[in-house]
Amino acid sequence: MKIATILGTRPEIIKMAPIIDEISKRGIDQIILHTGQHYDKEMSDNFFHDLEIPAPDYNIHVGSGTHGNQTGLMMKGIEEVLLDEKPDIVLVQGDTNAVLAGALVASKLHIAVGHVEAGLRSFDMTMPEEINRRAADVTATMYFIPTEQSAINLLAEGFSRKNLFITGNTVVDACFRHLEIAKKRGIEEESLAELDIDNMDNILTLTMHRAENVDVKERVVNIIEALKELDQMNIIFPIHPRTKNTLKNFGLFDELNNLDQVHVIKPLGYLDFLQLTSASTLILTDSGGLQEEAITLNVPALTLRYNTERPETVTAGGNILVGSDKDVILENAKKILTDEEFSEKMKNAENPYGMGDSAKLTVDAIEDYYEKGLLNISAPEDIMDSFTRKMASVEQDITVSDFETDENALIHMVFDGNNMVFPKDELNLNGMMITYDKRE
């Protein structure tokens, strides 16, 4: 079996690293294709080094550009590599342009697509990420899904539960594996060493780069106004290149950089960044990965967005959406800083993203599909099954898998009276309302 991983940005490198490592350990043939969307050393190369994964076999150097330009160049480059390498499955991760390009190209070449971190939905179609993740899900053969809630999103859109694997999120694998290594190694980045975080109180880690925030001047101004009033904090801001550019264009960079409590530094490598976040009292961010890492590292998070495709962090109690509203940011930040009971509750929120074995579960599922021939994409040879979509209420002790065998059916959705429940094989259906596809 040959597995191709397509990645292009910082979070994809971090979140695919545990899977790349697991594939190597099992001696499976693999190639890594970098789209070149992130190209600065501190947004790309440093992560291959910190996470100890092999350098990419291919880099198609698409660089920065409009969405159409970037995605088009990626598709052209990815197609050439896949035609040459003929992998059995292509893995894409998350919701960047690499995911859209990789999934479209591979599926049209009849190569199976595995979408890692599938099923997330913000329900905000102005976000390029929402378009990318939805489009990738349409093409995929295997879905590696962080939580039951995200799996239910896919069921609600009509995807077959047979291809849905609830694996947790590989960000937990990366966090657990690298935090201890990071602490033993200590801080390497000069800018962070100078700040001496080990002897600092009240650290607030700030990151922001989402187009809907940093490309809108009014939002950036509101966030800076809130930061001005958090003068009891040490605000450490490893700045994303997009944000640096837009702050400079808006003429706001110096104003922010000159605040005594704000330390604007270069983006950090993963090991240094983990030490920073784990030493923080509070994380203020619009990053997807950081919302997940905050709850994994037991640090309260305030998310500078009006919606999130990671609602589990909010319902678990570890994350609060504050948008870019100065008063809401300040009200919640002050509560975390002054109300110990409140902050402890946030810190102790249960991590919904698994135990750190997500990479193992993902590669187990891929090997199983490969052995069963389920990665081969071909037109069906049999005369088409007819099936009807049915609904029933179940009033007997019967599991999902027994029901499916008895009825020659595939269960689609299960309702327990209040909520949708994911139809795991061993779930007892007694008292539930179900929908299913009945094969004739």
Stretch that binds ligand UD1, among 78-86, 95-103, 225-233, 422-430 (CB under 6 A): 95-103
3-state helix, strand, coil in the chain (%, to 5): 45, 20, 35
Residues numbered 230-289 forming contacts with ligand UDP, rule: CB under 6 A: 238, 267-268, 270, 273, 287-289
Element at 106 (helix H, strand E): helix 97-108
Contacts for 125 with CB less than 8 Å, ≥ 6 apart: 131
Binder of ligand UD1 out of 30, 35, 37, 303 (CB under 6 A): 37
* Partner in contact with 168, chosen from ligand UDP, ligand UD1, none, beta carbon below 5 to 8 Å by kind: none
Binder of ligand UD1 out of 39, 250, 253, 342 (CB under 6 A): 39
Size of interface with ligand UDP, in residues (CB under 6 A): 15
Interaction pattern, residues 5-34, with ligand UDP; x per rule: CB under 6 A: -----xx--x--------------------
Size of interface with ligand UD1, in residues (CB under 6 A): 19
Residues numbered 149-208 forming contacts with ligand UDP, rule: CB under 6 A: 207
Q: Which DSSP string corresponds to 291-310?
A: HHHHHHTT--EEESSS--S-
Rounded Cα distance, 154 and 109, in Å: 24
Label residue 15 exposed, middle or buried (CB < 10 Å: 0-12, 13-18, 19+): buried
Catalytic residues: 209
* Partner in contact with 173, chosen from ligand UD1, ligand UDP, none, beta carbon below 5 to 8 Å by kind: none
Tell me the residue type at 140. A
Binder of ligand UD1 out of 15, 34, 121, 209 (CB under 6 A): 209
For position 9 contacting ligand UD1 by CB under 6 A, the verdict is: yes
The residue among 304 and 336 lying less far from ligand UD1, judged by its C-beta, is 304
Binder of ligand UD1 out of 29, 40, 190, 397 (CB under 6 A): 40
DSSP state of 163: G
Residue 152 near residue 233 (C-beta atoms within 8 A): no
Label residue 94 exposed, middle or buried (CB < 10 Å: 0-12, 13-18, 19+): buried
The residue among 128 and 317 lying less far from ligand UD1, judged by its C-beta, is 128
Rounded Cα distance, 99 and 78, in Å: 11
| SS3 of residue 206 by DSSP | strand
Q: Which residues bind ligand UDP (CB under 6 A)?
A: 10-11, 14, 207, 209, 238, 267-268, 270, 273, 287-290, 293
